Structure 1
Amino acid sequence: MNVRQWSRDLVMGARFAVTGGREGWVRLLLTGVGVGLGVALLLVTTSIPNLLSARQETEDARTDYTFSQQTMPKADDTLLVATMSTTYRDQDIRGRMLEPEGERAPVPPGVSALPKTGEMVVSPALDRLLKSDDGKLLRERLPYRTAGTIGESGLLGPQELTYYVGGEGLASRMNNGTISRIDAFRSPHQSSDPLDPVLVLLILVIFVVLLLPVGVFIAAAVRFGGERRDRRLAALRLVGADGRMTRRIAAGEAVAGAIVGLAFGAGFFLVGRQLVAKVEVWGESVFPSQLSPSPALAALIALAVPAAAVAVTLFALRGVVIEPLGVVRAGRPPRRRLWWRLLLPLGGAALLAPMIGKGSDGGDFNQYMVIGGVLLLLVGVTALLPWLVETVVARLGAGAVSWQLAVRRLQLSSGTAARMVNGIAVAVAGAIALQMLFAGASGAFTKSTGKDVTRAQMEVSVPKGLSLREMDRRLTDTRSVRHTVPLSNVTVGDRRTDPELVSDVSVGDCAALRELAKLPSCEDGDVFAVRGAQDDTDGPALTKAGRTVYLDPGWDGDAVKSHTLAYTVPRDVKPAVTRKDPTGWERGGLLLTEGAVPEKAAQALWSTVYVQIDTSDPDAYDLVRNTVAKADPLANPMTWSASDQSKEFASIRTGLFVGATCVLFLIGASLLVSQLEQLRDRRKLLSALVAFGTRRRTLALSVLWQTALPIVIGLVLATVVGLVLGVILLRMAAIDMGVDWLSVASMAGSGAVVVLLVTALSLPPLLRLLRPDGLRTE
């Protein structure tokens, strides 16, 4: 058949789609909306590379540190930058204090001029938070006058909380490690380590799992109104069209729906892009300008969606015989074959099998084999589900009238029911596999901090110029602080410079020292030699009675520090047995009560307060942060946690949650459109049943059963396939196998909740259809 004939038939099909009267327009609209939702999500996906690139460029442009070991000399174009980042009610806030050292000092991106001392420029989101009632405690921590806002070029997203404040006197504090001198805001361009192969595997599987349901929904949307279309094609046969021509006309109708879907998708994307600035998902937000699809990928979508519509339509008509007097599909369809459907998941498992165990030795996973294997396993769900639904419903029968109506409808059109469930089943299967992989991999990327969060929840480093006693008093007077452990520390060695033997000296009152060791008795002025610390190999030699040691010795050939002090271990030093301190560290060396510390040693000590708070008070952490900020704006108390997770792993998990949220929205919207299309297709049948006296409650229950039965079957199949895929992925990553059944149940339950919600939303239009006047026709 020549191209001209194909083109003519496709155009004719498209004309039928747009000139079919009200019914045709409704069918085209439903198809367009269904396809459009999928296209919109595909456009968002194609925007991800540009989004990541834009965010990285912004991050590089505002970078205010260097990896150089040498401090840059002061000049007319240098700027001192101090880190002032903080946390407010689990929200991270990026903060910097800036002090120009000349007229040509650099200005951070998004800021027109450097703020003056005591002034700050803030992001719009932080400005809103500070002005709101919820920002009362934060206003106490940032008591600066707002002089302006940061522009888009200096922010990662519209909801980011960040600020710059003008400061002074930073040069005298440059040795504390949080202050840098720069002459430009730029990235140091340090090469980053390659991602762990297991993280690469996670990323590949996430993309497949999130995008495959989109393709399934698009394929289902282009088949809306399939039965009515086939009856129209039978009428074309009656006026002289042959079988091949009718298929090409059907393909033309599908192309028209796909093109309308592309238009809807572009519209949904443009509207959503403008609204995205107001939304924050899992702590992430983006600017509309950052969501820009790659032109090449957008063109690929524009070509692939109509091509897929044609392919799906022709595939759906492969077993349908359209004759001039009707459609053979109206009779009992032949039983579906199982053998070829099993080949898909078996082929997927065969592709993944050679990579089992590669995660144990840092080996690389073949990306094409991973994508192909996961695709085949999940596509196997869509192939097996129609056969499984048909097999199960064929054995169902007796029951209430609503049950019988539902079962009979499913027996006559199990394929339609399976198509509706395919997308949710694929999404649940992929989510279960991902949940298993994430749960298994979390152990490798989550490390215990060793900190005892039952003894303290925060750690405050005491700034120079403020005494430990004063900081401890301020913290003790803070609301919701239950207990504090104030301690000072210094290194001790056997020589003034470059010592061979090194240990520690800890200073505190008797209560604080009992947090570090088991003391026989304690009074102010006592000195203790600690034994039993696992890593303190030099301590026993340095803590012998009468030995002279040196507090805070110099290193690497440096000159002797002015405060390096010789100290003689007293003859009455008492023995003590170490115990883990709140940080999980077994301290050795010497323990000195405050009365035993030489006066000249005070400037060599660095001090810390461990804080135990009342965690039932939601403001407890912020009250401590406010207390510390009043003492020193550059001090940032550390919040403890029992474990610490890899930033890359946490970022991938956040990306999964964001993507899963978008896919769940797509699932719900597409299922609702599909449900409305099926109700519209059965309008006359439902009206006829009402006219014969069938109760509306019975019909509503029958529709619920028609939805619930395929969903239950689909979720069971999805659980099995998801578990199989999860086990294979765990073996590939060389992770001990284990199934978190609660997570599996939650994944399946989330799919069921989406379907129940869609069913509930479809009940009002169903009740409007259950009227005898629905039999009226024109």
Structure 2
Amino acid sequence: MRRWIWLGLRLSIGSGRAGVLRTALMSSGAALGVLVVLGSLATFSAAGAQHERAEARSPVREEQPSTPSTLRIYDIEDALGGRVLRRTAVIGATATSPRPPGVAVLPAPGEVVVSPALRDLLGTDPRAAARFPQRVIGTVGPAGLLAPDELLAYVGAPPAPVSAEERMLDEHWAVTGFGYPLGYALGEGAAPDVFTPARILAGAFGLFVLVPFGVFLATCARLSASTRDRRIAALRLLGVSARQATLVNAVETGVVTLGGALLGLAGFALLAPLSEGWRIGRLQWYAADLAVPVPVVVGMVALTVAYAVTIGVLATRPARVDPLAVRRDAPHRRPGVWRLFPLLAGLAGAVLAGWSGRHEPSQGDALLFAASMLLTGLALPLALPTLGYAVAALLARLPRTPVWLELATARLRHAPGVAPRLVAAFTVMIYVAGMGSLGVGLIADDRNLSPIDDPGGRRMYQVLGPGPLPADELRQVPGVQVVDLASVPATVSGEQGYLIVGDCADLTGMFTLDAGESCVDGQTYRLVHQFSSGAALPEPGAEVVAQDGTRIPAPEPILHTRTRFAVGMSGQILVTRQAPVAAALDVPPSSSVDLVATDPDAADRAAQVLAARVPTRYLGGDLGTRRGFDAELLVTVLVTGLVLSFVLGIGAFAAAAIDRTMERRRDNATLAVVGTSPRTITAGEVGFGTLPLVIGLGLASGATVAIAAVLAGLLDLDRDRVFDRVAPTLWLAGGALVVGLVLIAVPAWSTQRITAEQLRRP
């Protein structure tokens, strides 16, 4: 046993310059793959660490705490220059109050504790300084922050009166501690801004990293396949048993892969501490968050080596079973037509799902489509040998075929499984990129699903939160209109309804009137809304009784209103505040008003006034920021995954192309000796790699278009719009073809020098 292990070790570092090159390619491939996988696993660790810190600072609230607590916490999502600003208002803090992680002392009114990133902005950004005129008394430590660039402030605020109805909301309950479990959802309602849920993130990288890494590692494990098969066959012909030959091959593959895996591990250990401050999209992290547990690292390295050894052992079975045929370089068996069946089954399943769900897709249709899409991707490499053999046989029958093309087709028919193995990674990469770009395109449309704004560019917000309302100061802000429309319950023509109380400017700020209509303060009007779904319009003079008993006759004038924003309004009668009857009405005070801003800058100025004057108040609405696991973050994850897939695909193809060129030098040397020109030899090598490359890229592009067409029908989408989303994949396939030609042609041309060693060595 020991001698065969030693022979495997000797073969892993010997066998001349070609063996050294093969070892370098295998180990560098394993190193790159392990580095990428470790980086992907580190994102899972970072997500978990951020999730734990987010929970640690989440307040624990009790309506009736066992021990008296005067502490109240209000978490507010603000925005500063397009970035999320987390502003936490603190009320009633004492020396014994619980504190969130990273905060040494809670602020009193007129004080603020800020994160390091916000502290830097206070001195350079006037918008930040206008929000926080309070005195900075401390800095939030890393234990209380999700990432180094997070903008976070704990602002001291005076007690805010809360109505009896609002007091039922848990946000007004006493805070007894920190560390409340968080629940996240896919959408902008998820807060705080942490790339969660981590399982979805890990699943995305599993699709875009682990699958291409599996193809990449399988390609590296079969480098110099013909040479290694002949070596195994020679050992068998010398009397070595199949088991002993398997051990030699396993040791050789395992040692090289382990060396590369350790090199990748060392690269990750070097880069991880330097990554603090790097950014992917809007994501940043602390370097300490990238710590992957040691058992996970050991398990990943062990699985990497085991997978490569398994691929190598299974692939050398023909050399162990029929060594004589391998030594004589006998033609390989013609690939069976059965290899096409999985691909056809995958496409047929997708078409069936699209046809079945053309009217109303069900969960079964969605599952069938997903399974068919996965099967199609896995079946693409399986179909390449059969199609490559068929195309080579067809080209060989053409009249006046050039010598280089005859040479390429003859080699492809002699070993139909070699060239497809060369392009399998590229084929899978193009298909994954196509499906990913389709998903990115469809999900990215969610960015336009923001609240409906006025066509003139105006935006509507609500002023929310407890505390006094600085309405007069907000009215002084340029580009801002404060809209205060109150709804009063009333009986209209004997049925329950509502009165709307407000100025004409309030009404026309929120709604538009039909052409020729106008509102005059001091009058009352009957209202006809664009989407009326309530009581019928009262007749003029009909009795209208408010909840306080005030009687108002239904007026003669009518106003027809249409919505400017994504809001509705219920009320059959408008009573302007200047109307005589308005003085007798009991209008309940409103804890919030609406605000209309002409542009985002005007909304930002209003937010500055609220933050500076009443820290517990804030603007509710679209502030132009992204937070939580929303469409933008999902696009970031998908694009990053596609980039990693592309890197692994390029790496696999480059390693296989260079190795294939070095392996063919012996046969090319024989051709050169008999007088074949270097140009013809190079063209033959390029043709041998280009034929399956064109087939693979064309097959992947066609499968992507077919799946996209089915998806368009399944989701009832415009086919042209869907095809626009996958069009970049076709350009990517064209670029991959150019890159593949270069990676094949350059090594083939640069290795034309013939030596006697190449004629002697197997």
Shorter chain as denominator, the TM-score bin is: 0.7 to 0.9
Specify which of 43, 54, 59 is matched with residue 59 of structure 1: 54
Name the CA shift for 1:727/1:146 in 2 (closer, same or farther; >3 Å): farther
Shift of 1:184: 0.9
Please tell me whether the aligned partners of residues 214 and 423 of structure 1 are also in contact (alpha carbons under 8 angstroms): no
Equivalents in 2 of 1:436, 1:74: separation in Å?
Answer: 56
CA offsets 1:131-176 (integer angstroms, 9 cap, x no match) = 6x7x5644544455655543333233344x2312331214346859
Q: SS of 1:381's equivalent? A: helix
Shift of 1:384: 0.8
Q: SS of 2:378's equivalent? A: helix
Shift of 1:488: 1.3
Specify which of 511, 527, 530 is matched with residue 527 of structure 2: 530
Q: Which residue of 2 aligns with 1:31?
A: 26
Shift of 1:62: 1.4
Please tell me whether the aligned partners of residues 431 and 722 of structure 1 are also in contact (alpha carbons under 8 angstroms): no
Specify which of 568, 580, 595 is matched with residue 563 of structure 2: 580
Q: Which residue of 2 aligns with 1:277?
A: 276
CA offsets 1:226-267 (integer angstroms, 9 cap, x no match) = 233345446646765466654543333222222223313323
CA offsets 1:660-685 (integer angstroms, 9 cap, x no match) = 34333333344344444345545688
Equivalents in 2 of 1:345, 1:50: separation in Å?
Answer: 40
Work out whether 1:491 is the aligned partner of 2:477. no
Q: Which residue of 2 aligns with 1:222?
A: 221
Q: SS of 2:511's equivalent? A: coil
Please tell me whether the aligned partners of residues 115 and 147 of structure 1 are also in contact (alpha carbons under 8 angstroms): yes
Name the CA shift for 1:191/1:632 in 2 (closer, same or farther; >3 Å): closer
Q: How does 1:435-584 map to 2 (within 5 A)?
A: 451-462=452-463, 465=468, 468=471, 470-476=473-479, 486-494=482-490, 500-509=496-505, 512=508, 515-518=511-514, 520-532=517-529, 534-535=531-532, 537-538=534-535, 540=537, 547-550=544-547, 568-569=551-552, 574-584=557-567
Specify which of 711, 717, 725 is matched with residue 743 of structure 1: 725
Q: Which residue of 2 aligns with 1:426?
A: 428
TM-score, normalization by structure 1: 0.75
Which range moved further: 15-24 or 238-247?
Answer: 238-247
Q: How does 1:251-650 map to 2 (within 5 A)?
A: 251-293=250-292, 298-320=297-319, 327-328=326-327, 330=329, 332-343=331-342, 346=345, 376-396=375-395, 415-433=417-435, 451-462=452-463, 465=468, 468=471, 470-476=473-479, 486-494=482-490, 500-509=496-505, 512=508, 515-518=511-514, 520-532=517-529, 534-535=531-532, 537-538=534-535, 540=537, 547-550=544-547, 568-569=551-552, 574-585=557-568, 588-593=571-576, 595-596=578-579, 598=583, 604-605=589-590, 606-613=592-599, 622=604, 625-626=607-608, 629=611, 632-640=614-622
Equivalents in 2 of 1:578, 1:15: separation in Å?
Answer: 87
Name the CA shift for 1:340/1:156 in 2 (closer, same or farther; >3 Å): same
CA offsets 1:680-723 (integer angstroms, 9 cap, x no match) = 54568889999999789x99888776665544322222234445
Q: How does 1:760-771 map to 2 (within 5 A)?
A: 769=750
Specify which of 693, 702, 715 is matched with residue 697 of structure 2: 715
Equivalents in 2 of 1:759, 1:516: separation in Å?
Answer: 62
Q: Which residue of 2 aligns with 1:656?
A: 638
Q: How does 1:146-185 map to 2 (within 5 A)?
A: 148-159=138-149, 161-172=150-161, 181-185=174-178
Q: Which residue of 2 aligns with 1:480?
A: none
Structural RMSD (CA): 5.3
Q: SS of 2:487's equivalent? A: strand
Sequence identity percentage = 22
Equivalents in 2 of 1:758, 1:471: separation in Å?
Answer: 62
Name the CA shift for 1:263/1:729 in 2 (closer, same or farther; >3 Å): farther
CA offsets 1:190-210 (integer angstroms, 9 cap, x no match) = 7999xxxxx999997884465
Q: SS of 2:564's equivalent? A: coil
TM-score, normalization by structure 2: 0.77
Which range moved further: 594-603 or 302-311?
Answer: 594-603
What amino acid is aligned across from residue 428 of structure 2 in structure 1? V
Aligned residues: 729
Specify which of 646, 649, 653 is matched with residue 671 of structure 1: 653
Q: SS of 1:569's equivalent? A: strand
Name the CA shift for 1:686/1:104 in 2 (closer, same or farther; >3 Å): farther
Please tell me whether the aligned partners of residues 31 and 261 of structure 1 are also in contact (alpha carbons under 8 angstroms): yes
Q: SS of 2:336's equivalent? A: coil
Please tell me whether the aligned partners of residues 506 and 590 of structure 1 are also in contact (alpha carbons under 8 angstroms): no
Equivalents in 1 of 2:428, 2:224: separation in Å?
Answer: 23
CA offsets 1:259-289 (integer angstroms, 9 cap, x no match) = 2233133234434433443333233344444
Equivalents in 2 of 1:776, 1:421: separation in Å?
Answer: 30
CA offsets 1:68-108 (integer angstroms, 9 cap, x no match) = 6x476994x54222333222344323221324432111211
Q: SS of 1:531's equivalent? A: strand
Which range moved further: 653-662 or 321-330?
Answer: 321-330
Please tell me whether the aligned partners of residues 377 and 725 of structure 1 are also in contact (alpha carbons under 8 angstroms): no
Equivalents in 2 of 1:394, 1:753: separation in Å?
Answer: 27
Name the CA shift for 1:190/1:291 in 2 (closer, same or farther; >3 Å): closer
Work out whether 1:187 is the aligned partner of 2:187. no
Equivalents in 1 of 2:449, 2:293: separation in Å?
Answer: 41
Q: SS of 1:111's equivalent? A: coil
Name the CA shift for 1:427/1:78 in 2 (closer, same or farther; >3 Å): farther
Name the CA shift for 1:774/1:338 in 2 (closer, same or farther; >3 Å): same
CA offsets 1:329-353 (integer angstroms, 9 cap, x no match) = 7454442222145247638978998
Specify which of 2, 5, 13 is matched with residue 8 of structure 2: 13
Q: Which residue of 1 aligns with 2:191?
A: none
Equivalents in 1 of 2:158, 2:634: separation in Å?
Answer: 41
Please tell me whether the aligned partners of residues 119 and 146 of structure 1 are also in contact (alpha carbons under 8 angstroms): yes
Equivalents in 1 of 2:136, 2:682: separation in Å?
Answer: 59
In structure 2, list runs of 5 or more residues that go unmatched.
187-197
Name the CA shift for 1:703/1:473 in 2 (closer, same or farther; >3 Å): farther
Equivalents in 1 of 2:183, 2:347: separation in Å?
Answer: 39
CA offsets 1:487-540 (integer angstroms, 9 cap, x no match) = 211121138xxx954454343328826834337343332222202454552474
Name the CA shift for 1:155/1:512 in 2 (closer, same or farther; >3 Å): same
Name the CA shift for 1:144/1:717 in 2 (closer, same or farther; >3 Å): farther
Equivalents in 1 of 2:159, 2:402: separation in Å?
Answer: 81
Name the CA shift for 1:136/1:751 in 2 (closer, same or farther; >3 Å): farther
Q: How does 1:92-111 map to 2 (within 5 A)?
A: 92-111=84-103
Q: SS of 1:101's equivalent? A: coil
Please tell me whether the aligned partners of residues 57 and 144 of structure 2 are also in contact (alpha carbons under 8 angstroms): yes
Shift of 1:770: 5.8
Equivalents in 2 of 1:758, 1:633: separation in Å?
Answer: 60
CA offsets 1:539-563 (integer angstroms, 9 cap, x no match) = 745996663424xxxxxxxxxxxxx
Q: Which residue of 2 aligns with 1:196?
A: none
Name the CA shift for 1:245/1:92 in 2 (closer, same or farther; >3 Å): same
